[in-house]
Structure 1
Amino acid sequence: MPYPLDAAAVRAWCGLALEALGRQRERIDAINVYPVADGDTGTNLYLTLESATRAVEAAFDGHASTGTAPCLADAIGAMAHGALIGARGNSGTIVAQLLRGMTEVLAAGGGADGGPEALRSALRRAAASTYEAVAHPVEGTVLTVATAAATAAEAAAGDAAAVARAAHDGARTALKATPAQLAVLGRAGVVDAGGCGLVALLGALADALSGEATAAPVALRADAPLPEAGGREATRHEVDGCADADEDGPAFEVIYLLEADDAAVARLRTRLDALGDSLVVVGGDGLWNVHVHTDDAGAAVEAGIEAGRPYRIAITHFGGAARTREPELAARAVVAVVPGAGLAGLCAEAGATTVSVRPGEPPASGELVQAIRQAHAREVMLLPNDPDLRHTAAAAAEQARTEGVRVALIPTRSAVQGIAALAVHEPDRSFDEDVVAMTAAAGATRYAELAVAERQSWTMAGVCQAGDVLGLIDGDVAVIGAELAATAMTVLDRMLSAGGEMVTLVLGDGVPAALAERLEQHVRERYLAVDTVVYEGGQHAAPLLIGVE
C-alpha cells in the first residue's frame, strides 16, 4: 500500500537507508577505487546517513515534547541538516547536497505538498545542486546516477511511490553504465562506489513510500573490465564527481564545517581550487561543509579561517597508502583530537590524522573509529587530548582492535600534552617503546588553560563571578583574576615554581599575539633557563592553553 511523502515517510526513509547502507557498507568500501583507493565510501555514506537519522529523530522528539507532530518541511530539513553536519568524504558530502536540494523544493510553502510532482521537482533540483557544489563535475560518477534518477522520475506516471521507484530503477541502470564512462572504473571492473550508495538511498525511499521491498542489491562488478571500451581517463579534476585519480595525488584530505556568508564561500572555492583537488563545498544559509584533497593542509584550513569560522576539522594523511587498489597499510600512525584549526594544521603537518572539535560537540566513538580507519595503519596511537573523552576514546580503540588494528590509547588530557607526545613519536622504534615514550612525554607535561566564567559559582580557588578569568591547572581552578595577561602570569609562576624547561603557549581564537609576547617576556625575565614556544591554536573555548615540561 503506497504511503504519502510526509514527515513519517522521511523518518521511515532514514531508517531503511541506514539499514541498507549498513548491509552494503563493506561491499561498497571494497569497490572504492578513487579519489584514492582508501576503501571508505560505504562507511562514509553510512556515517553521513547516521547523522541525518539522528537529526530526524531529534526533530520528532522535540515536537513530541510539545504535543505536536513535525511536518514534511521539518523532517526533510532535519535530514538535510544532519547529513550536512555529519557528512564524511566526497560521497557523503555530495549526498548531503542532494538532500539539501530536495529540501529546497519539499520544504517550500511549509512542506505541505509531498505529491508526485513535488518529488519529481525535488529529485531534479537535487541532481542539479550537486553539479553546483562540485568544482569540476564529470560523468560516470554519483552525479551521473543522480541525473539519471531525476530523468526517470520526470517520465514516471502515478503517485509519489511510483515516482520514487522509477528514480531507483533509473539510478540502477545508470550505475551499471559507469564502468564504460570512466576507464578507471572499467579497468578495475567495478561500478562507481558513490553511485552505488545513492542507489541504496533511493531504494530505501521507494520502499518507504511503497511499503514494498526493492529487488536484489545491484551488482557491484562490471561484466568485464573496459579499459578501451569508450571510457576515458579521469583527468586531474575528475573523480567522484570532482578530482584526481592518479597515484601522485595530494597527500591530505581536509574536511571541515564552516560558518561563513555566501561571498566569503565564493572566494574560498577559488582559493581551495588552486590548492588541491576533489573540491566539494555544500550547504548554505551560513553553514557549509568543505571537502578538499591537497598537499598543504595548513593552507586549506587557513583559507577557511579567512572565510569564516571553521570547526570539526578532520585532516587525513593519505601518505601514499591509499593510492593503489589494494592499499598497503602504513606501519604506524597517530590520530589526535584537537580543539582548534591551528592545532589541526600543526598536528597534520607532523603526520597525524586529526579530528577537530567544537565546544559542546564532542566527537562520538564512531567518528574516532573512522579516523583510525582513515589513518591506514596497522598500529595507531590515539591522543584524546581531553579527560572527558577517555571513555569515548577507549570505546573507539576497542572497536578498532576488533577490526585488526593495534591501538594504543595515550592518556593525554590536554592538547599541550598531545603536542608533547607527538613530538617524541618515533614510528621506527617498537610499538611498546613508542607508547612508553609518548606516555612519558605527556605525563611530564603539566597543563593549564585560561577560561572566562559564564556565571557565579564555587571553585577550588573560591567564588568566581561571571566574566572572571579562571586559571585551571591540571583541570582544577587554581587562580581567579580580572584580566587575561595577569592571570596567565600568575598561572605560569605557580607552574614554574615546581621547575620546568619548556613552556608551550597555545593562543585561542581572536587572542592577540601581543599577549604571547608579554608572557614570553615574563618567562624570559624570571626564568632564565626556560624556553617558550607559541602556537596559534584557534580554539574557541579557552583563550590560552599552557604546557610546562
Structure 2
Amino acid sequence: MKVKNVDGVMLKKAFIGAAQYLDANKEEINALNVFPVPDGDTGTNMSLTMKSAVKQILNLNEYNAGKVAMAASNGSLMGARGNSGVILSQLLRGFANGLEDKENIDTVDLANALKLASDTAYKAVMKPTEGTILTVARGCAEYALKIASEEDDVINFLYKIIEYGNYVLNKTPEMLPVLKQAGVVDAGGKGLMCALTGAYNAITTGEEIELEFIESSIKRPVHISRDIETADIKYGYCTEFIINTYYKDYEQFREELAKFGDSLLVVGGEGFIKVHIHTNNPGMVLEKALELGELNDIKIDNMRYQHSHLIVDEEQVNQVDSKKTKVANKKYGIIAVSVGEGINAVFKDLNVDYIIPGGQTMNPSTEDLLKAIEEVEAENIIILPNNGNIILAAEQAKDLSNKNVYVLPTKSIPEGVSALIAFNPETDIDRNLKNMKEAISYVKTAQVTYAVRDTEINGVEIKKDDIIGITGDEILAIGNDVEEVALELLEKMVDDESSLITIFYGNGLEEEDALKLSTKLEKKFEDFDIEVLFGGQPLYYYIFSIE
C-alpha cells in the first residue's frame, strides 16, 4: 500500500493508534525509571496526556489534517501530566502549528511539522538535557527533513523515521551516564517511539481501533448523599466548553462574559479558547461564544443538584474536605499539591487555600492546576508543586491563566512546608518569593522507600524489594530493615548546620514505629529537636525534613 497524502481521517486514526500503543506499553515505559523507586510514571503520564489529545479529536465535527492536529494539541495541553506529558504536549503543539490548516499533508509537510515540534519542545524546557525525549524528537525530525524530498510514500517515510528514532533512543545511555549505569534507555524517548509506532501500526493495518482504552483511566464516581444548603448558590449552572477560534482578545471576551455569572476562567491556546463559568443562563453564554467560532467539549452541570448529591472520585472520598471550594478575595492565595491525610492537615494548618491531591505516581494535569487557580480568588496566587515532576505542568497552567500566578519550584513536601513557614501575608509578593526560595535552600529532604527492580547504581547492587534511603537523585542507604536504613540515611544527611529533624511517617507504619525511631535519633543527635508527624503518604515509609 502506497500513501502519498494523509487526510484528517487518517491522521485521526494515527493519533488514536498512538494513544492505544502508549497505553498498552505504559508499564514497560514506567519500568525504565532510572531510580528503582515506586514512582516511575513516565509511561502513565504520557499515556494520559495522549488520551486527552484523542478525546479532543473525537469532539470534532469535521476532519481535516490541520484541525485534527490542533485538536490533539489543545487536548494534550490541558491534559498534560508530569514533565514527560508537558513535553509531549509541546511536541504536539509545534506539530499542529507546522500543519496550520492543511486539508491533506505529504511527507514534506510531515517533516516540517516534526521539525517545528522538536523546536517548540526544546524552547519549552529551560535547560534541555541531551539523551532524553528531546534528543529522540530532534533526531526523528532531522532525519525526516533529510529523506522527505526523496521519499513520497508516507508509509515508508514513517517506517524509516521510526527505525532511525529507535537508533537514537538506543544511543541515549551513551549520552546520559545515569542511564548507562541503570542499564536503560530514556523513558520519555521510549514513550515517544511507542506513540510513533502506534500511529504507524494504525494506518497500515486498516483495522478499526476499539476506544475502550480511552476511558480506562476514568475513575467511576461515588455518590455521597449530604444535606447541603443550596439556597446560597447564586449561579446554578457550571458551564464549560472550548471555542475553536484564532480570536486573540481574551480580555475583551472575558469582560463580555463576566456579566453572565462568576467563577469565570478564560484561557487561550493555539487556535482555541477554553471557558469555565458559573451562570444562570448557559444558553446565552454559548450564543456569545458562537460569535467567535465552533464549540466543542460542552459540559453543563446543575450545581444545585450536585451539591445535594455530591459526586467525587473513588480515590477522593476521604479527601472531599481537603479542598476549599472558594476563598474570599484577598492579597494572597496558596495552592499546594499534596498526598497523604496527615500532610494535607499540615498544609491546612499553614493556611493553604486549595490542596490538589497528587504527588508520586499521581501527577495532576495542567487542567487540574488551572481549576485550582480558578477557585482561588486572590490578588496573588502561589503554587507549591512539591514534586519536581509537577513543576512544568504548574508553569504551563500559570501561562494559561489570566491571574497573577507564581510557581515556587518546590520539589518535596519538606520544601513546601519550609516555604510556607517563611511566608508572611503582610509582606509584598517579591519579598515573599525571595524569603520562600531562601527557606527552600536551607531544608534537605530524605526519604525511605523500597526498590521495585534489580539495578546497579554507582557500583552498588540493589535488589528488588530492598529498603532504600534516598535524597534527590542519590541512594545513600540500602538494607532489609526500615528503621536501620532510616538511621543510616540520616547519619549521612545530618551536618554541623543541622538542628531539626521532622519525621513524616506514612501508611503502613504505626506511630509507635516512628516514636521508636525518634528515640534512637534523640540519643544519636542529642542537641537536635526531633518532631514526629503523621504523613499518611503512600509508597514512602518515611519522609524526613532536615534543617
Length-normalised TM-score, structure 1? 0.49
Length-normalised TM-score, structure 2? 0.49
